[in-house]
Every structure is written in C-alpha cells, then in structure tokens.
Chain A
Amino acid sequence: MIRFIAVRLLRAMITIFAVVTFAFVVLRMSGDPAQVMLGPDVPQEAVDAFRRSWGLDQPLWIQYVAYIKSIFTGDFGVSMRDKASALDLVLQRLPATLQLTLPALLLKLVFGIPAGVYAALHRQSFADRGVILLAVLGFTIPSFVMGLLLVLIFAVILGVLPSGGQDTWMHGILPTVTMSIGGIGILARFSRSAMIEVMGQPYIRTASAKGLKWGDVVWNHALPNAAVPIVTIVGFMVGSLIAGAVVVESIFSWPGIGRLLIVSVSNRDLAVVQCILLIIAAAMVVSNLVVDLLYGWLDPRLRSNAAH
C-alpha cells in the first residue's frame, strides 16, 4: 500500500512540475508582456523600462531558474498589473469561484446520479428515454449558449433573476444552474451505463435468485460495483472545481478565478497565470490521487493488483 501511494505521489509531483514548466515557456513564447500590458501606443523607452523592472530582459533560463527557486520558498511572484502577491490575488478570487462550483457540484451529484440509476433500473421505459434525451441535451449544449439562453428567459423576458454580477445570492442562481446542467447530463449517462453493466452480472442474478429484496440487491450489490466509473467522473469534477468556471464567469460577470485567468492571460500577467495553473494542476492531481485511493477501497481487487 505504501508503494502504491508513493508511486502516485511521485507521478503527481512530476505532473505539477511539467505543468509549471510548460506554462512558463509557453507564456513567454507567446508575446512580450510589456507590449501586451502597455498597449500599442506607448513609446519604446516605456516598454524597455517595464521589461527591465520585471526582469524580462534576462535570458529565459535565468528567469526560469529564479522562478523555480522562488516557488520552493513559497513565493509565487508579484502581479505586473496589481503590484501585489500573485498568490494573494488568486486566493482573493477563490471564494467567489467556489460559491459557484460547489453548489453546482452538489446539483450534479443530487440530480445526475439518481437520474442515471433510475433510468438504468427502468431500461427502455419512457423515463429512461427521457433521461437520455435530457442528458444528451445537457452536455452537448455549450455553457455559453446555455447561459445566454437562461439569461434571456429568466432575466430579460421573465425578469425574475438578475443577468450578471455578484451583488446578492440571487445573482448566483443562473451561473450555478448553467454550470451544473452539463455535469448532470454526464453523470446521468455514466451512472446509467455503469448500472446497466452491473445489473447484467451473474452475481446480481445470484443475489436476486437467493431471495434478497430488490432494494437490497440494488443498494448492497449493484451500486458499490457501479461506483468505480462514477467516482472517476466525480473525481474529475472535483478537480475542476477551481478551473471549471472560466466561460460561465465571463458570461455572468462573476469575479472569480476564471475571469482572473482570462484577464491575466490576455495581459500576460505571468506570475498570476502561473500561480493559477499551479493551483489548478495541484487540485486535479490531488483529486486524482484521492480517486486512486478510493478505487482500492471500493474494489479490493485493484488493491491486490497494485500490491503485485
């Protein structure tokens, strides 16, 4: 078990290091922050002064070494736009993003999994067809279309909800619903498939044949075995809690990490972008690690395979 965890921790660290390096190189290859931030009309002296003051006139490898060193000391750099700690800026925006993504995750779990399970247990029924139809619609309509559609209906036509901003709790309703619809569809589809596969297994027939109640068969034998693929998807969703709101935050003018990322990328605010990507990568890696460990708990066969 220790080896199992150690291998995954090592993989996680390599992944984060790769993300950090990739982000560092790509950001610097894709445009001079001085020119981007100062705009097209500033004199060359201003551009040169900006580059000197932020160390952008140094060779790339020197900048890279300095950056890696600073990360290990907990220094994620300073924003070129705000002249403030990049980490502080990101952490200031994190609560706003979680205000959307956590309720959205809850909605996905509460509606997606039961809908999929219900559809699987009533296969080929009208309800099953309905769930499949709604699920496909849910995850195929892009969030920017869904968001604008909801605004049109509930803000412009009905006038019952605000169209954007973060002033009251009501401002969070439309973005949360927009974010959750696609995930509900995905979870419903995966839950349905997993349950259908499990319900066809011999041990389910055996459990039914030995006289167990239908509810016990589903709850004690089917659901735990269908959980592995569902946990994989949920793990991905948890890992995306920080990164998953870029489009929705832009549509609804929600001041979270997604909007900060867009603004920072377009301005080449290097330290902030790198900090956000590092946190996103860390969240995804930790989430995957937890999912890996859950696999072992949910399915003892995986534990023994890992041991071998």
Chain B
Amino acid sequence: MVNFTRRSTLGLAGAAAGSLILPRFSFAQGAKRPSITIAVQKITNNNTLDIWNEQSNVGERVFFPNLWEGLILRDWMGNQGPLPGLATEWKRIDDKTLELKLRKGVKFHNGDELTAEDVVFSFSAQRLFGTTQPAGGKTIFADDNKPVTAKELPAAIPGIGRRLWPALAGVEAVDKYTVRFHNATPDVTLEGRLYAFGSQIANRRAWDEAKTYVDWARKPVTTGAYMVGEYKPDVSLTLVAFDEYWGGRPPLAQIRFVEVPEVASRVNGLLSGEYDFACDLPPDQIATVKAVKGFEVQGSTINNHRISVFNTQNPILANPLMRRAMTHSIDRQAIVEALWAGQTKIPAGLQFPFYGPMFVEGWKVPEFNAKLAQDLIKQAGYKGDVIPFRLLNNYYTNQTSNGQIMVEMWKQVGLNVQIEMKENWGQIHDPAGVKGVRDWSASAAFSDPVSSIVAQFGPNGEVQQKKDWTNAEANQMASILETSTDAAARKKAFARMLEICEREDPVYQILHQNAVFTGMKSSLKWKAAPAFAMDFRSSNWAI
C-alpha cells in the first residue's frame, strides 16, 4: 500500500486543479492515484526533452518508456528486443524498404490522432536531418516537409541523426495509417533502428505551433503514458498521467524527477522519506540503504559494457603484442568482486544476448594470464617507457578506482602505465601530447552488432575518426555487416571482427558489464528494468 505524503497529496491537488483549468486534456483524473518523486543525479544534459538532443543514460531514464514512444517499442522489462508499438505490424517490401501499419486510435497529448504525417515529420529534414544527405543516395520527399515556422535545429542534431540513420532517404506516407521507410542502401537492421533511442514519434502540429526549438523541446508532444507537466531545467521534471493513453490508464498521477547531484543527499532524501526512489547509487551505498527497514535496492546489469581503448599512434602501443599483453594483465573478476561486490559480470566480449542469432556463442574476453602477458611484453621488446592513461574522475561508476587497480595490475607484469587525470572529454581526446589508454563504454542501441562494434569501431566510428586505431580487414567486415543481407555472412563477419578487435589487433578491452542500482521504498510494487529506463506504466506498478 502506498503511503500518502504531504508531497503526494499536494501533487494530486495540483493535478486536479490542472484538469479543471485545461479540460481538453485528461490530466490525472484519478485522485486516488499516488504520485512519486525520484531523485536523479541529472535530469538531462542539454536542458531539453528532445530524444535527439539528449542521447545519454540520463535521457533514457526520463524518456522511456513513459514519455516517448516509437513505431516499434523496446521490451524494457524483458530481453530489450522489439515489441509492436505505434505500429502494429511491419513487412519488408525489399532490402531497402520497410512498410509499417500504424496503430489506429492512438492519441497525442494535445488530442491529435497519430497519422502517417507525424511519422514522416519525425524523420524529416526539418526535425532531424537538416541538410545532410543519406549515404549512398539522396534525400527524397524533402519538399513535403518544409517548415511552417522558422526553427533551427541545434547544430549537432543532424549529425547525430545520421549516426543512427546513415542511409535513410526518406519516409513515405502511403495512406493515413501506412508508412514506408526508404533506405538508400540495403539494410537488414531497419527494424532494429526503429526501436533505438531517437526513432520515437513526435506530433507535427506541436512542432509547427512552437515559436522556437527550445519551446518545443522543453514540452514535446508525444504519445506516451505520461506527458510533460512542468520542466525546470537543472531542477525538476514533472510528468503527469495521460488518461487517453492507448496502452491504458497510467497508474500514477504524476512522476516528479528532482535533480540531486550529490549521492549522499540522494540517499539521505530517500531515507528521510523525501524521495520514493534514489537513482544512480554507487555499489558502496547499497548496504547502507538495505540496512534501513522499509527500503531496498533494485538493480541489474544493463546493455552497456565498460571498456578501455588503445591508441596505436603511441609508438609503444603500435605493436599489437603490447596491446595483447595489456588485455591479458587484467584480472577482471577481481575488479568485479572488489568494486562491484560481485553485482555485475564479465560479458562475452562486445556483444549482448539480445543479439539472438547474431550472438557468437563461446566467445570470451582475453583470459587473465600474467605469464602470457609477460611473454608478450618480452617479445615486443618493451623497455619500460611510460604509457599514458588519460582518466576522468568517475565519469563512469568506480572509474578512478578501476583505473588505479588496472595500473597496478599492469605494473605487476612490468608495464609502466601512468594515470593522467583529465577533467572532460575534450581533454581526453586532445590531439596534443601522447595518448595511450583511455576509458569508454560500449552499448547496443538495437539487437545487432551494427549498433555497437561497427558504430564505435567501424570505419565511421569515433575511434577511427579520431585516428586511435584502424584495421583494413575489420573495416571490410564492418561493411559486410552494414550492407549484406546474407545472415550467415553477416555472422561470420561479426565473429571475425571480434577476433580482430579483441585478440589479434586489439583496439579495446572489455572490462565488465555495467550495472545500475536504484534505492526505493520497499512498499512500492515496482520492478527495475535491466536498463536506465524506469517503467511506470500499469504493467509494472501494482497498488
């Protein structure tokens, strides 16, 4: 049973008042529904609620699955695979074209019905691609999407959009409830891209009516179970129930995210009853919360691996033997036990179980073998010169401690790796000075290696763009993965790419899978997803 606090009562009262003032919206009709407050480290990075402008784990938490929805949904509470969403069915017309039938009767938060025009708009030049052109072709249907009002996209968005949709030529409205996605090149991953972070559908009229991009992006009109009530950048975001939601009446009157940057403050606020949930708990806080009666910690591994990346411009690391030695020097299990209290695991290389048939069974990260590492170092003729390790201060959970442990493990086998603390990513990537090792993470936006190993380490991935590393054969494999429609050839290419990138000519080393921990009141009947996203739809909330 949920306890009614002063805060939740006020929230309900506010929502009820809103329903009187704005009768055309179905604001939180259920005065009996509870409201919740969630303390997060950060609400959004760029002070908007636009999926394309907030591509990060903090964005995932406040957007999905409560606010933004796509034609195909991600199964957040399951295996992270695809589920029918705003589209009920889809079929291939050919290897470049995908046709989808829209769910009828879906309402946007402003009362409009979802139609093909909204889908066309969501993947248009004005909303997403700007003046960029699809790889291997040119934009089509652009004339249908001239902006009604002058609104400039943030400069970075078209580039970010093209990362997920490099060859999308356009979306065609076949009829009111049918759309076709036209790709300039063959692509077997179009369905996967449709449930990735970014491919969600926005209401066209709301965009047209907004005076500026920021006005729109701080109160986007979507089809989600909750709509934006109030957003105060850097302070709070309140989502309120949308009772015309196609998936059924939402169980909560409102969800309030509050930004509490300090971990200790989030924990104290949870234990004092101020918050119902406290997110982003580091592993060392789990016992503190669990020790208090009435509170628990939920968490699990997520589709994100912590990795380290090598720079082959460094004359020492140019020799793959040295990089191989480094990968064999790390006792990953010891790190998992020491820093994560065993609450995460070592994955099977840069792949995820939801890849399904593309998952390479039997593949493992390089074994911890100090003797082998020492032999490799000897073969490489290493003289003990310094290998710099540019390190951020806990951008990732436990990052600094993890870095210090790795340096000691490398030292054990005779490697002289020295930490250089950096303040931000600009300094990590600064071309001035000698680079060596740096931290990163790898995730999969959808269930195919194109979304991870190709996106990050392929010819257009950041690593090669920044000249950290390149490998001609790996690039050939990436090309096969991106354009081939032969499933067997694609899987073979992926397996070969794993061999090259992790064993033969290592560009990265997998350390462990990331995990996320959320402290909460035990009285709440809610389950955490294996992701940053927090599902507050009726299927995941019981009174």
B426 touches A268 (CB 8 A): yes
Q: Which residue of A31, A48, A83, A151 contacts B426 across the interface (Cβ within 8 Å)?
A: A31
A155 touches B262 (CB 8 A): no
Q: If A35-B424, A46-B160 touch, does A164 touch B213 (CB 8 Å cutoff)?
A: no
B501 at the interface (CB under 8 A from A): no
Alpha-carbon separation in the docked complex, A48 to B154 (Å): 12
B235 at the interface (CB under 8 A from A): yes
B268 touches A155 (CB 8 A): yes
Q: Who on chain B is nearest to A46 by CB?
A: B159
A253 touches B425 (CB 8 A): no
Q: Which residue of B47, B271, B426, B430 contacts A82 across the interface (Cβ within 8 Å)?
A: B47
Q: For residue B80, give the distance in angstroms from its CB to the closest CB of chain A.
A: 18
**Residues of chain A from 139 to 193 with CB closer than 8 A to chain B in the complex:** 148, 151-152, 155-156, 159, 162-167
Interface residues on A, range: 35 or more
B404 at the interface (CB under 8 A from A): no
Q: Which residue of B156, B162, B213 contacts A38 across the interface (Cβ within 8 Å)?
A: B156
Interface residues on B, range: 35 or more
Contacts of A268 in B (CB 8 A): 424, 426
Q: If A35-B424, A53-B155, A164-B269 touch, does A43 touch B46 (CB 8 Å cutoff)?
A: no
Q: If A41-B462, A43-B159 touch, does A30 touch B427 (CB 8 Å cutoff)?
A: yes
Q: If A165-B274, A250-B261 touch, does A259 touch B423 (CB 8 Å cutoff)?
A: no
Q: Which residue of B55, B163, B234, B264 contacts A39 across the interface (Cβ within 8 Å)?
A: B55
Q: For residue B394, give the distance in angstroms from its CB to the closest CB of chain A.
A: 13
A82 touches B155 (CB 8 A): no
B259 at the interface (CB under 8 A from A): yes
Q: Who on chain A is nearest to B42 by CB?
A: A263
Contacts of B440 in A (CB 8 A): 40
Q: 1/0 contact trace for B211-245 toward A, CB 8 Å?
A: 01110000000000000000011110000000000
B160 touches A159 (CB 8 A): no
B272 touches A47 (CB 8 A): no
Alpha-carbon separation in the docked complex, A74 to B421 (Å): 38
Alpha-carbon separation in the docked complex, A244 to B450 (Å): 49
A91 at the interface (CB under 8 A from B): no
Most chain A beta carbons < 10 A, residue from B7, B47, B466: B47
A204 at the interface (CB under 8 A from B): no
A83 touches B214 (CB 8 A): yes
A49 touches B265 (CB 8 A): no
Alpha-carbon separation in the docked complex, A214 to B142 (Å): 89
A129 at the interface (CB under 8 A from B): no
Alpha-carbon separation in the docked complex, A31 to B430 (Å): 8
Contacts of B47 in A (CB 8 A): 81-82
B79 at the interface (CB under 8 A from A): no
B511 at the interface (CB under 8 A from A): no
A84 at the interface (CB under 8 A from B): yes
Contacts of B7 in A (CB 8 A): 167
A39 touches B425 (CB 8 A): yes
Contacts of B232 in A (CB 8 A): 255
**Residues of chain B from 30 to 72 with CB closer than 8 A to chain A in the complex:** 45-47, 55-56
Q: Which residue of B155, B156, B212, B261 contacts A253 across the interface (Cβ within 8 Å)?
A: B261
A159 touches B258 (CB 8 A): no
The number of inter-chain residue pairs (CB within 8 angstroms) is 143
Q: If A45-B162, A255-B234, A263-B234 touch, does A148 touch B268 (CB 8 Å cutoff)?
A: yes
Q: If A40-B462, A156-B271 touch, does A253 touch B163 (CB 8 Å cutoff)?
A: no
Contacts of B427 in A (CB 8 A): 30-31
**Residues of chain B from 393 to 450 with CB closer than 8 A to chain A in the complex:** 423-430, 440
Q: 1/0 contact trace for B268-307 toward A, CB 8 Å?
A: 1101111000000000000000000000000000000000
Q: If A148-B268, A263-B234 touch, does A47 touch B423 (CB 8 Å cutoff)?
A: no
B156 touches A83 (CB 8 A): no
Alpha-carbon separation in the docked complex, A50 to B163 (Å): 15
Most chain A beta carbons < 10 A, residue from B160, B232, B272, B273: B272
B234 touches A260 (CB 8 A): yes
B274 touches A164 (CB 8 A): yes
Q: Who on chain B is nearest to A154 by CB?
A: B272
Most chain B beta carbons < 10 A, residue from A54, A148, A163, A262: A163
Q: Who on chain B is nearest to A264 by CB?
A: B234
Alpha-carbon separation in the docked complex, A140 to B159 (Å): 51
B265 touches A163 (CB 8 A): yes
Alpha-carbon separation in the docked complex, A251 to B262 (Å): 6
Q: Which residue of A33, A36, A39, A253 contacts B56 across the interface (Cβ within 8 Å)?
A: A39
Most chain B beta carbons < 10 A, residue from A82, A165, A250, A266: A165
A35 touches B235 (CB 8 A): no
Contacts of A162 in B (CB 8 A): 272, 274
Q: If A31-B423, A83-B213, A266-B424 touch, does A42 touch B261 (CB 8 Å cutoff)?
A: no
Alpha-carbon separation in the docked complex, A54 to B158 (Å): 16
Contacts of A40 in B (CB 8 A): 425, 428, 440, 462
Q: For residue B446, give the distance in angstroms from its CB to the closest CB of chain A.
A: 15
Q: Which residue of A53, A54, A251 contacts B265 across the interface (Cβ within 8 Å)?
A: A251
B462 touches A43 (CB 8 A): yes
A49 touches B159 (CB 8 A): yes
A42 touches B160 (CB 8 A): yes
Most chain A beta carbons < 10 A, residue from B7, B234, B259, B430: B234
Q: Who on chain B is nearest to A254 by CB?
A: B235
A37 at the interface (CB under 8 A from B): yes
Alpha-carbon separation in the docked complex, A163 to B155 (Å): 39
B163 touches A32 (CB 8 A): no
B265 touches A35 (CB 8 A): no
Alpha-carbon separation in the docked complex, A81 to B423 (Å): 19
**Residues of chain A from 1 to 44 with CB closer than 8 A to chain B in the complex:** 30-44
A164 touches B46 (CB 8 A): no
- B interface list, Cβ under 8 A from A: 7, 45-47, 55-56, 132, 154-160, 162-163, 212-214, 232-235, 258-262, 264-265, 268-269, 271-274, 423-430, 440, 456, 460, 462, 465-466
Cβ contacts A to B, 30 pairs, < 8 Å: A30-B424, A32-B429, A35-B426, A35-B429, A40-B440, A41-B55, A42-B55, A42-B156, A44-B462, A45-B132, A46-B157, A50-B154, A52-B155, A54-B155, A81-B46, A82-B214, A151-B265, A152-B268, A155-B268, A155-B269, A156-B272, A159-B272, A163-B274, A164-B260, A165-B258, A166-B235, A250-B261, A251-B264, A252-B265, A262-B261
Closest 5 interchain pairs by CB? A46-B159, A31-B426, A32-B426, A53-B155, A45-B159
